[in-house]
Structure 1
Amino acid sequence: MTKIVILTGAGVSAESGLGTFRDKDGLWTRYDLEEVATPEGFARNPALVHEFYNARRKNCVEATPNAAHHALARLERDFDGPVLIVTQNVDDLHERAGSSHVWHMHGQLTRALCAACGHRWDAPAVMAPADPCPACAAPATRPDIVWFGEYPYGMEAIWDELRAADLFVSIGTSGNVYPAAAFVQDAARAGAQTLELNLEPSIGAHDFEEVRTGPATEIVPAWVAQMLA
C-alpha cells in the first residue's frame, strides 16, 4: 500500500485570493514582517499584530477552496492508501474542501493561543490585546500562529511520517523556508519517490526526481487524476 505525504504552501491557496509572501501587491508588502510576525513584534505592539491577523482572518473566511484543494480532498477520499497533508498555510481551505488528515505546522488563523498559560481555543473574527484567556483570564491572547523564530508544530511526528512515505509531493512552496525546505531530502534518503508541483521550479527543485510546473488549479487535479486512474 502506497503512503503519500504532501507538503503544501502558499501557492495552493493563491488562486483562492490568499496572497503569497512575495506578491508585489499582497498584504505582506504593507507590513514589516519583523513587526507583525515575530514574538518581539507582538511584545512591542500587540495592537498592530492583531490588526494584521484580523485582516488575514477576514480574507481567509471570505475565500473559498479552489480546484487544487478539492483535488487533494478527492485523493484522500479515493486513493488506495494513506494520504497526509502537512501544510505551511494557516488558512482552513484544505479542511473546507473535505480533507481530514491535515497537519498545520505553522498554526491556524482560526485558532487563538494564550501567551501566558498556553491554552488554545477557536479565535473570534476580531481579536484585541485586552481579550482575556478563557482559561486563566490573562490579557495575553495572541493568534495561534508560528512566527519567525518559533519552532513549527509537530515536527517530530512530521519527520516520522516523511521517513515512512513512499511518495513525497511538494505543492506550491518556494523552498526557501526551513525546516520544510529539507523535507524532500529527508524523504528521499528514506527511499520515497519525490515530486514537485509548482507555478515555477522552486529553489530546491533539483532535489526532486520530477518537477511539474503550472497553476495549482491545473496541475494538481491532473496529477490526482493520474494517481486515481
Structure 2
Amino acid sequence: EGQLFPQSVDDLAAVLDVISRYGCHHLTLQADVRPRTLAEAARLVEGWQRLAEQVDFPILLETHRYRLTNDLLFTLDLLVQMPDLKLLADLSHYVVGRELPEPGAFEDDEQIRTILRHSWGFHGRVASSEQVQVSVGFPQHQAWVERFTGWWRYGIEDWLARPDAPNSLSFTCELGPPPYAITDANGGEISDRWAEALKLKTLIRQVWESCQR
C-alpha cells in the first residue's frame, strides 16, 4: 500500500511515475483539502480519476477526518454524483466524527453500508462514539467490536460479489500510536497494540474465510 496526501491534481501526477516504477498493491489518497462544495470536490476527484486510468494499480480515496471525505453526509452526496468513485474505508473516523450511538440507528448503518459498497480496501481499527481507537480486548468495547466486524463482513461480501473485483483485497490492521492509542497519566499506552493487531488479524481472517463458504 502506498499513501499520498495530495492537495491538487498535480500532486498526484508528480508521483505516479515513481510509484509505477516500483509498483504497489494500491495507492491510498488522503486528500488534504476541505472543499465547501460538491462541485469543488468533484473537480479534484475527477482529475485524480483521470490519472488513475493511466496506471495499473487502483487509486483509492480514504475516508478520513480533516480530509476531503471528513464528513459522512458530504461523502455520500459525492458518491451520488460520482458513483464510480473508489474508496478505502476507515470507518473509525465516521463513528467518532459523527459520534454514532451504540446501539445504532438503522439509518446510520445504512449510510455506512453505502460507503462499504464503494470501498475497495480497508483500514482496520475499532472506534467508539467518543474515541477513534479503542482496545479490541476490553470487555466494555465488545459491542463496538461486533458492530465493526459486521460492517467489515458486509464490505467483504459485497467486494467478493463484484464482477470486476481484483485478485486480492487489502485489510490493514492500522492501530496507531499515541495520540490514537489511549494513554495513562504517565503517557504509557493502556493496551498492547501489537497483541491487539494480531488479534484483529485473526478476527478478519475468520471473517474472510466465512465469507467464502
Determine if the TM-score, normalized by the shorter chain, exceeds 0.5: no
Q: TM-score, normalised by structure 2?
A: 0.29
Structure number with greater CO (CA < 8 Å, separation at least 6) is 1
Question: Structure 1 length normalisation: TM-score?
Answer: 0.28
